[in-house]
Amino acid sequence: MSEYLVLCLILFSLGAFGVLYRRNILVMFMSIELMLNAVNLLMVYFSALHNDQSGQVFVFFIMAVAAAEITIGLAILVMIFRHLGSINIDSLKNLKW
């Protein structure tokens, strides 16, 4: 059990907690970014541990995906704002049960 692993797990859990806890969609996005970053760091750590640079390459892909994803996410967010004038997830409960 190493410190980096613990750090990353805490960071990841914090991100997850953010998703569970916050109602503000924007902050939820940020929480997700936090989770991804925790994974990034973990990858880098393992990459160094194994002396294998493919881990770092993988981080590239994660970053690329994260960027692409967040673009879409923000586009959706804008749409929501246009509809509701707010970005609170609580107001989005039309679909249930």
Binding residues among 49-68 for other proteins as defined by CB under 8 A: 49-68
Which residue type does 93 have?
K
Q: Which of residues 6-45 bind other proteins (CB under 8 A)?
A: 6-45
Q: Least distance in Å: CB of 78 to other proteins? A: 6
Residue 77: CB minimum distance to other proteins, A: 6
As to burial, measured by CB atoms within 10 angstroms (0-12 exposed, 13-18 middle, 19+ buried), residue 1 is exposed
- How many residues make contact with other proteins (CB under 8 A)? 95
Closest CA to 23 of 93, 94, 95, 96: 93
